[in-house]
Amino acid sequence: MLGFEKETPFDDLHEECGVFGIYDFDGGDVASSIYYGLFALQHRGQESCGIAVSDTEAPKAKVNSYKGMGLVNEVFVGDRVEELKGNIGVGHVRYSTAGESTIANAQPLVLNYVKGTLALAHNGNLVNANQLREELSYTGAIFQTTIDSETIAYYIARERLKSSSVEEAVGRASEHLKGAYSLVIMSPRKLIGMRDPYGFKPLCIGKRDHAYILASETCALDTIGAEFVRDVKPGEIVTISKEEGLVSDTTHCLPEEKQGRCIFEYIYFARQDSYMDGISVHDSRIKAGRFLAQDCPVDADLVVGVPESGNAAAMGYSLESGIPYGTAFVKNTYVGRTFIKPKQSNRESSVQVKLNVLREVVEGKRIIMIDDSIVRGTTSDRIVGMLKEAGAKEVHMRVSSPPFLWPCYFGTDVPARKQLIAYNRSIEDIRKIIGADSLGYLSIERLESLVDGLPICKGCFNGSYPVDPPTEDIRGEYEK
């Protein structure tokens, strides 16, 4: 069972997860640093989280781990963090786009095998996970979870039996994997990071005193006072050990023109203060707003953003158009994905639990409302309605991404085509459905400019993916 049909209270996109790893060469306990790193990555996954640590000086590798369902500060209460002793460790926050939302599927995964132990945290989705799982099953593998991360862990363990080092095993395992994967792996004496050759998901390297860090985003480095070193290159394997420091293997890297970063990291998923592959997320969103103002201008009195990811694009629209920027929404910051989820039929009313409109800001005004995306449209029509109920004369919606026309198979829960409001509908059709006075999307031709020309994946907009999509049902709703 895969996680695309679960009910959600808001028509938002979700990122699969965030990963974090640290190795302190001085021998200090690292669990608290992992905790705060995960806290900074909480926006990437709010269903489950976990930490696994080990002591590299211990005679036998023993992994201490704890994981649970919920937010980081809900799972790690009391002395949980202090009880995790060790100078090397990995952590994970998860939102399930593949595999059920259960404690069994929470990460990091910890494996004990003939060569010792492995703890693994994974961000992304494999498109050949079912095939690999079946192959492993016929060689005697018994699976404890329904996530593709376990398949990756098994392949690494199997390749380790015929490799001279764990990093060699990781490289050999990667040759079997198709799709998106940013991995942080802890072995008894090494911390390893690997990014798929297309660079779908981010991964960066940091340093604090004599400790090296791997993290999904630079904001996690800032939170623990670490210095950004560089991004892990697409296809690169980095190995961190006390004996050799940081060692890079670029054997599996592709030419840059074949890479395909997920553009939604910049439009929506990443925290605004992060940098990815040298690009400021904040600057990307400002650019998106400026492009919308250039391509979809309209006379209005105020530009507002739908919190949080719409705010920077709204500021960009304001800067470019000269129309004042304002705050029209008050967001209840205590409503996360752990909020009691209403049935689909009640989804619209639940928006008001998350957002309230400031009547005095919008009453009698022509409003330009910026949001990052429209998926099913169930939230957009309600927010437009809320603005009009609060007295807005006109509501012009602008979207800082192109229309979704295809599903995603790489860790973003863009659903099947039949569920997408833009599928088989014109922009005018969508405008009527959501009740806006006008509607404009960012053009697909503008996307590369958001990231200064970096190669990106545009599959959810045009159906052209860097990796061929699966030919079997991996999500319960596959459409060719």
Which residues does the annotation mark as catalytic?
Answer: 17
Cα distance between residue 260 and residue 470, in whole Å: 17
- If DSSP codes are grouped into helix, strand and coil, which group holds residue 85? coil
The DSSP bridge partners found for residue 89 are 22, 53
3-state DSSP assignment of residue 65 = strand
Angle, in degrees to the nearest 10, between helices 347-354 and 380-389: 60
Which strands, in side-by-side order, build the sheet including 394-399? 302-305, 366-371, 394-399, 438-441
Q: In what order do the strands lie in the sheet with 204-208?
A: 63-69, 48-54, 88-94, 17-24, 211-215, 204-208, 227-231
- The string of DSSP codes covering 369-405 is EEES--SSSTTHHHHHHHHHHTT-SEEEEEESSPPP-
What's the CA gap between 28 and 385, in Å, rounded? 54
CA distance 284 to 386: 28
* Per-residue 3-state assignment (H helix, E strand, C coil) for 242-265: CCCEEEEECCCCCCHHHCCEECHH
Nearest to 87 by CA among 228, 188, 223: 188
Residue 34: which H helix or E strand, with range?
helix 31-40
Contacts of 229 (CB under 8 A, 6+ apart): 204, 205, 206, 207, 246
CA angle (450 as vertex; 384, 427 as ends), nearest 5: 35
Nearest to 215 by CA among 32, 18, 20, 16: 20
CA distance 193 to 246: 10
The whole-angstrom separation of Cα 408 and Cα 413 is 6
**Alpha-carbon gap, residue 185 to 331, rounded angstroms:** 37
Count the Cβ atoms, other than its own, within 10 Å of residue 46. 19
Contacts with 148 (C-beta within 8 Å, 6 or more apart), sequence order: 98, 99, 122, 125, 126, 129, 132, 133
- Pairwise CA distance, residues 439 & 422, whole Å: 12
Residues 6 or more apart whose CB falls under 8 angstroms from that of 436 comprise: 369, 380, 384, 395, 396, 397
